[in-house]
Amino acid sequence: MATRKTTSVPRSAAATAHALLGTEHQLVLAESCTGGLAAASLVATPGISTRLCGSFVVYQIASKREWLGLPELLFANAPDAASASVSAALARAALQHTPHATLAAAITGRL
C-alpha cells in the first residue's frame, strides 16, 4: 500500500516538470532514498526530455563515493548519509558530472 508521502512524489514531480518546462534550465538529479522515483515521476510529463538530463541513483554510500566522487571524510563527519551536507554535496557532484546541466537537486532521507 502506498503511503501518503510516496503518493505525493508524482504530484510534486508534475508541478516541478511544468515549472521546469517554462525555463531554459537543464536539471540533473542525485537520488538516494527515492531510488529513482523522482526521475521516473518527472518523465511522465510530455516534453520533459528537453529539460531533464537524468538522475544518479546512488543508494549505497559506496555508490555515492565511486560514481559521484564524494569523499569518505564527508560521511565520517556527517551525522548520517541523509544529512544536509551530504545532500548538498550530492547535488554539486551531479552538476559537476553533467556538464550540460544548469540545475541540480539531491534527495536523501527517508520516505
Q: Per-residue pLDDT tens for 83-105? A: 889 999 999 999 999 999 999 99
β partners of residue 106 = 30
| C-alpha to C-alpha distance for 19 and 17, rounded to whole angstroms | 5
Q: Per-residue pLDDT tens for 51-86? A: 999 999 999 999 999 999 999 999 888 888 888 899
Per DSSP, 85 falls in state H
Structural contact between residues 37 and 12, judged by C-beta atoms closer than 8 angstroms: no
